[in-house]
Structure 1
């Protein structure tokens, strides 16, 4: 089925849909990962996006329930150079097209993804429409321009859990307090869900934690009343400045209990500490972002999925920069000089991506041990 990609700058790209009729409006971005498309699709940080994969052949490994990072898919459209409808992988239980159709995500192929990625690199992420409608291309361009965009939007409210739950080795169970039995984990970690991925929860379990997940809007008083040993602020989509009221609650938590944040959680910590955030030109999305650890002078290859970052020039004197992106020099990690709080911009749970940064979970547990 014929499709049209219409960008806000007036660019029209003919393509074809491999999931049938549909239309999607959102922020056009590109992801440089060569594998892990199912994890990318089920990552809540992808909410509101039209994701273009730069790797040309997508679909050959199929999909399976185990690789889902959440209960649903989050991009509004998924764009590839060539879709492979016949997967060949012993873990595959279905096709990518079937998964996209199940969750109402438009799949598009048959166009020059390299050209689109180069345009986004030079001009920045753009508002766009992907449609199989026969509307005039000029009308689609105007529709893209009228979309308000991601800046200032509280996207975390769309993906956070509605009720608290306990995460166990078998998945989520309803619950508003930590499990009583210490045999289920030595350390009680409260997870603020701004768009948490299951891999993060699994790693906390592997580090001897009892995990209670709470909605993004949970008040600091409620969190502290649960007497956690540590607090984890998860990843999530969109503009950190648009997440209503959360930075004020995190400010009340800092210094009370060890805190570890990643991605959106990292940005919210920075705002709570007095720094500012800014929009990246085209974002960091992929499993091959080089980051330098300033403490060890080592380079880590990291997985990332964000369009905003912390402005390194606005860090207060009592906050130190710990990691820096080697592609553009942006801030990738910070820590308070005296209080037990640290965070990184990237995804140390490595789903999908390398395992270079998994040590950060052990560092978090070490901080908890020191303060108990």
Structure 2
């Protein structure tokens, strides 16, 4: 048994990261200074998008992204049931109704085929969504080209929940370029690809959307005379023109994010290297990993396996046994529609059968840039022994 716990994810903080934060602590700006705009500009340039808005979390980014697209009471938003609850909650915050689209069992991502069938039915009942939020599970992009074609046909907006996927690519372009969506949202939580401790980012190619998100993240307040309803009273004057929130990112977070960003490609390459080792080591076991499309280059935020055949019976045993051996196996995710709150909204377990099959067979095993060769070999051995 290993002497210390092996986490499923872990941040990699360098001395340069620490120095960047210390520099901000010694500066005049702890919030609303130059680091946040610099972080936004660097992210937008990396992704090939026109604009970026930094926020306190990916959840807050999803919220103001929905609002910037006009989501409100009476609207309908669809997303994947295999995600963290924030992917659905953001629509409820706006007063909209939420529904789900079943996943492709091989990738865990929202299925374009299931989406099309649901759209055909919804058109007949006048219940088409205003917005669809595909979730790039584990760092692999959904089939955004197919989803965008459906968006054009059925007139809905798209927010890519790319909380797992900064550094990933789709059809050779960075996830976040927004070629097939209105907005893309990233997360910088400590277990994600890069971290700002807590924090998120919403990128877009539309200036109006970006302006709205920046307004909403800071109380709906503006000091820009062109956005005011009357002439400014003087240099002290501001107006609240929308009902906004305090969703700002601090200078400390932005400085850490900027420093981490210099190693993003290195982190993603290491994650892909570790994932390849797992895939090769497991090829003779009764399990499979999430299918990787040739259209995509995953950032591998997570390495998720699915048990097959008789091994499915050992699903819970495997997760618990790994934890007993100090290997933090986890399950991403419990389908949102079977959470008690969403059951209270009328959803039932059988509504999305692929999501339930996924939940009953999947588990996440450790994958992060600081994972040692000896730790990975230990993980492989324990999984092999148990199965």
Structure-2-length-normalised TM-score? 0.26
Relative contact order (C-alpha < 8 Å, sep 6+): which is higher?
Answer: 2
Which structure's residues are more often strand, by fraction? 1
Tell me which structure has the larger Cα radius of gyration. 2
Higher helix share: 2
TM-score (norm 1): 0.27
